[in-house]
C-alpha cells in the first residue's frame, strides 16, 4: 500500500513543476512572434485638423505581439494608441505600426486645402461664365481709346464703352455709363465707369472702376499710359489668364468711377483676394522723372454692410517709391460679411499729385 501512495505524489510534483515553468504571458504556450504587419493605408494627404483612422493587420493571426503606433514627427501629425492620426501642421511625417520585430508605415502629408473646397473663387476666367448687365457673355477683344495719352487700339480688354449712352443729367458729359457692369454669378458685380467727355467739346475717352484684361508686361522700359490695362506680372494671380484692371478715377465723380464690388442679393464673407500694380504704376516710379521721390501709399479696402462701414484693410503697393512686384495676397477675413467693397488710394491725392492710381485684382475667394 505504501508504494501505491508514493506514485501519485510523484505525479503531482511533476505537474506543479510544469506550471512553474510556464511562459511570461501567463499561459502554457510560448510567444508567437509576428512575421509581418500591414497597414490599410500607405500614404494619405490631410488638411490641418483632419483625422484618419489607420488599421494594422499583423501575421500570423494568432501572434502574441501587440501593435504599437508611433509618429516620426508629432508636430506634423500625431497618432493615438488605436491608430487615429490627427493632422497638426503643414509638412510630412511617417506613422508606423510596430509589431514585435516588424513594422509597416503610412506616409502622412499635411497640405493646404484646395481653395475650391472652401471658397467660391472668382478669377474672371472664361469658364466661369462672366456675363454683362444684359446677361450676355463677357468677351475680351480689341478696344479703341479715342483722345488722351492712351489713344489707340488695345487688345484683350473688356470695358464699359460699348454700353455707354446719354445717361447723365442734361448730357453734359456726353456718352456715359456708371453702374455694376459684369458678374460671374448674378450676385457679385463689378462696377464700371466710362465717359467720352464730348460734353466738354471734344472726345477723350476716360474710364474708372473695373475693366477686364489679359495683358501682362514686365519688360516695359518707359512710362506709358498704354500700359494702364497691363499688370506688372507674368500672368494673372496663380497662373490665371484673365484679371480685373482697376483705376481710382477721382475726377469724374461717378458712383463706380472708383473701383467698387457690390453683392446685390446676398452679403458674402471675402476670405482673401490678390492685388498687383499695373505696369503703368510700376514704370511711373521707375522711369518717370516727374514721380514724387519717396512716395508711399496704400489702397484702402473698405467693407460695407447696409451702408455702414464694417472695417478697412490697407494694401501697401508703393513704399518709398518702390512698387511691389507681382501679386500680393490680401486677407479680408477681418471684415466679415459685406454687401460692398470699395477701393481708394491712401496717402496720395490723384487729382493733385497725378500719381497713376491703377492696380489689378484677381482670385477673389468667397467663403462657402
- Residue range 298-330, pLDDT digits in tens: 999 999 999 999 999 999 999 999 999 999 999
- For the chain, which residues score pLDDT lower than 50? 1-26
Cβ atoms within 10 Å, residue 81: 8
Sign of CA dihedral 67, 70, 76, 82: positive
Please answer whether residues 343 and 260 qualify as being in contact, where contact means their C-beta atoms are separated by less than 8 angstroms: yes
Residue 44 contacts residue 52 (beta carbons within 8 Å): yes
CB-based contact 160:205 (threshold 8 Å): no
Note the pLDDT tens digit of each residue in 159-206: 999 999 865 555 567 889 999 999 999 999 999 999 998 888 889 999
Residues 42, 45, 48, CA angle at the centre, nearest 5°?
A: 130
Please report the pLDDT score of residue 6 as a whole number.
Answer: 40
Alpha carbon distance 33, 208 (integer Å): 77
**Strands of 76-122, DSSP E:** 77-79, 84-87, 91-99, 102-110, 119-122
Does domain 36-110 correspond to CATH entry 2.60.40.1080?
Answer: yes
Distance CA 92, CA 46 (A): 10
Report in angstroms the alpha-carbon separations of 182 from 177, 186, 245, 337: 13, 9, 13, 21
Selection from 341, 352, 340 nearest residue 292 by Cα? 352
Residues of the chain with CATH 2.60.120.1350: 116-367
CATH 2.60.40.1080 residue window(s) in the chain: 36-110
Tell me the whole-structure pTM to 2 decimals. 0.77
Indicate the CATH number of 116-367 among 3.30.230.10, 1.10.150.120, 2.60.40.1730, 2.60.120.1350: 2.60.120.1350
Amino acid at each position: 500500500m505504501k508504494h501505491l501512495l508514493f506514485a501519485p505524489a510523484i505525479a503531482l510534483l511533476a505537474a506543479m513543476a510544469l506550471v512553474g515553468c510556464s511562459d511570461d504571458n501567463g499561459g502554457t504556450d510560448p510567444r508567437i512572434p509576428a512575421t509581418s504587419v500591414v497597414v490599410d493605408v500607405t500614404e494619405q494627404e490631410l488638411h490641418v485638423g483632419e483625422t484618419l483612422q489607420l488599421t494594422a493587420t499583423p501575421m500570423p493571426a494568432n501572434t502574441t505581439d501587440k501593435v504599437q503606433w508611433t509618429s516620426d514627427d508629432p508636430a506634423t501629425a500625431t497618432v493615438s494608441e488605436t491608430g487615429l492620426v490627427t493632422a497638426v501642421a503643414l509638412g510630412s511625417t511617417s506613422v508606423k505600426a510596430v509589431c514585435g520585430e516588424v513594422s509597416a508605415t503610412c506616409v502622412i502629408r499635411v497640405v493646404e486645402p484646395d481653395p475650391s473646397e472652401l471658397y467660391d473663387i472668382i478669377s474672371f476666367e472664361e469658364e466661369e461664365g462672366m456675363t454683362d448687365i444684359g446677361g450676355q457673355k463677357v468677351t475680351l477683344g480689341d478696344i479703341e481709346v479715342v483722345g488722351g495719352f492712351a489713344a489707340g487700339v488695345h487688345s484683350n480688354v473688356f470695358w464699359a464703352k460699348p454700353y455707354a449712352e446719354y445717361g447723365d443729367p442734361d448730357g453734359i458729359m456726353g456718352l456715359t455709363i456708371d453702374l455694376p457692369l459684369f458678374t460671374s454669378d448674378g450676385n457679385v458685380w463689378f462696377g464700371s465707369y466710362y465717359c467720352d467727355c464730348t460734353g466738354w467739346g471734344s472726345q477723350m475717352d476716360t474710364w474708372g472702376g473695373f475693366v477686364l484684361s489679359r495683358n501682362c508686361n514686365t519688360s516695359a522700359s518707359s512710362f506709358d499710359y498704354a500700359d494702364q490695362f497691363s499688370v506688372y506680372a507674368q500672368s494673372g494671380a496663380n497662373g490665371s489668364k484673365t484679371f480685373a484692371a482697376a483705376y481710382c478715377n477721382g475726377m469724374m465723380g461717378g458712383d463706380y468711377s472708383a473701383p467698387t464690388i457690390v453683392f446685390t442679393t446676398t452679403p458674402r464673407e471675402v476670405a482673401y483676394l490678390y492685388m498687383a500694380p499695373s505696369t503703368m504704376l510700376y514704370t511711373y516710379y521707375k522711369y518717370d522723372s516727374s514721380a514724387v521721390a519717396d512716395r508711399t501709399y496704400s489702397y484702402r479696402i473698405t467693407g460695407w454692410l447696409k451702408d455702414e462701414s464694417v472695417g478697412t484693410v490697407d494694401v501697401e503697393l508703393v513704399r518709398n517709391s518702390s512698387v511691389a512686384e507681382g501679386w500680393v495676397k490680401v486677407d479680408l477675413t477681418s471684415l466679415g460679411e459685406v454687401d460692398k467693397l470699395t477701393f481708394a488710394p491712401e496717402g496720395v491725392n490723384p487729382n493733385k499729385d497725378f500719381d497713376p492710381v491703377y492696380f489689378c485684382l484677381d482670385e477673389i475667394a468667397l467663403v462657402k
